[in-house]
Amino acid sequence: MYQLNENYQKLPGSYLFSTIAKKVAAFTEANPDKPIIRLGIGDVTQPIIPAVIQALHKAVDEMAYADSFRGYAPDLGYDFLRSAIAEHDYRQRGCDITADEIFVSDGAKSDSSSIQEIFSVDCKIAVTDPVYPVYVDSNVMAGRCGEYDSSSQMWSNVIYMPCVRENGFVPEFPKETPDLIYLCLPNNPTGTTITKSQLQAWVDYANAHGCVIIYDGAYEAYIAEADVAHSIYECAGAKNCAVEIRSFSKNAGFTGVRLGFTVVPKELKCAGVSLHTMWARRHGTKYNGAPYIIQRAGEAVYSGEGKAQLKEQIAYYMKNASAIKTGLKEAGYEVYGGVNAPYIWLKTPHAMSSWEFFDEMLEKANVVGTPGSGFGPSGEGYFRLTAFGSYENTVAALERIRQL
């Protein structure tokens, strides 16, 4: 008789977005005259920019002719894309990252869930709390997290680093030394980030303690403040301790198009063994490459036109973020984030729980957000609103919240 991977059985159900959907459906059925505004989901809504659409069309047409048709992509991605990434995302920011350290993929979820494969099952992970659920769940599936305690909502073998208003949402060095440290900056869900010198302190910590930082930079394009690093490789010594994962999803609206990449520097070694070689082996064995058409679309993100159009798109979302932030402040709420990220993280008033506040927002303002407790125990008492709606809806939602 076969047996299943028992680690999957340990995962608690993920009820966050299904519970939200059920509550919203029940409310709409009971109140068909009250239109809902959704500021809950972490998905973009603006269309793909013209420069990328043009590149997509051109690449599709190339597939129609024998002399420009492309089959399997090179293992680590096409050189035209890897060179554009190395130039624009790294060299222009003063980071010494070369095209051959970049692995093109279908997105940051795949890479951030798979990267743990190249580490021993005995490695202990540290995550910020609240956190993007993929980091913990992928390590649970691999058998690295121990047992789940439903009352504390914590895993017995995971180091949690609370990021709350009391510490300015800056993760503190844990008492126990981890092996793998997941950092997502700017952060989903809190919308906050840390300064370059605070990030440098984490790089120094990792180098001093023999840890690897898995750095998720999915929201890099939203960084507005000058003292925030766009890449962890802006920090001295990061090439010895950090893997960086990036995505075109939030930077360029590719959530449905699918493209991302991971940087594994050649200097990154564990007892003389190159992580770059291991990740190349993993990529070659388990992944057959992002489509040629999509890699051409990614290349267009870095063209002059593409950059200018995306700057406008990001500005559109960040105008929403700033409208949410100022609107909530004026209404008396305590709000965080929304400056270097498209997320606003608010403290629920009157010591309400995240779900109590969700219900109140739904019933009284007909606005849908995401309860902070869905992202981890330290998210309790917080609520996430996203800037990914339309400007009109965002302003209308704020008007309703103000009238509460």
Q: Which residues bind ligand PLP (CB under 6 A)?
A: 42, 107-109, 132, 184, 188, 216, 218, 247, 249-250, 255, 260
- Taking the least distance from each CB to ligand PLP, the nearer of 52 and 365 is 52
Q: Are 384 and 357 in contact (CB under 8 A)?
A: no
- Taking the least distance from each CB to ligand PLP, the nearer of 336 and 362 is 336
- Taking the least distance from each CB to ligand PLP, the nearer of 249 and 366 is 249
For residue 269, the minimal CB distance to ligand PLP (Å) is 26
For residue 135, the minimal CB distance to ligand PLP (Å) is 9
- Taking the least distance from each CB to ligand PLP, the nearer of 135 and 362 is 135
Please list, residue by residue across 159-192, b when 16 or more beta carbons sit within 10 angstroms of its beta carbon and e when fewer do.
bbbbbbeeeebbbeeeeeebbbbbbbbbbbbbbb
For residue 294, the minimal CB distance to ligand PLP (Å) is 12
Q: Are 233 and 90 in contact (CB under 8 A)?
A: yes
For residue 26, the minimal CB distance to ligand PLP (Å) is 27
Please spell the DSSP secondary structure of 179-244, one letter per residue. SEEEEESS-TTT-----HHHHHHHHHHHHHHT-EEEEE-TTGGG--STTS-SSGGGSTTGGGTEEE
For helices 304-330 and 50-62, angle between their N-to-C axes, nearest 10 degrees = 140
For residue 351, the minimal CB distance to ligand PLP (Å) is 28
- Taking the least distance from each CB to ligand PLP, the nearer of 249 and 309 is 249
Count CB atoms within 10 A of the CB of residue 291: 17
| Those residues with Cβ within 8 angstroms of residue 151's Cβ, 6 or more apart along the chain or in another chain | none
- Taking the least distance from each CB to ligand PLP, the nearer of 133 and 174 is 133
Beta bridge partners of residue 215, listed in sequence order: 183, 244
For residue 287, the minimal CB distance to ligand PLP (Å) is 14
Which residue's CB comes closest to ligand PLP? 107
Please give the Cα distance from 261 to 345 (Å, whole number): 28
- Taking the least distance from each CB to ligand PLP, the nearer of 254 and 357 is 254
For residue 112, the minimal CB distance to ligand PLP (Å) is 6
- With 0-12 / 13-18 / 19 or more C-beta atoms within 10 angstroms meaning exposed / middle / buried, residue 196 is middle
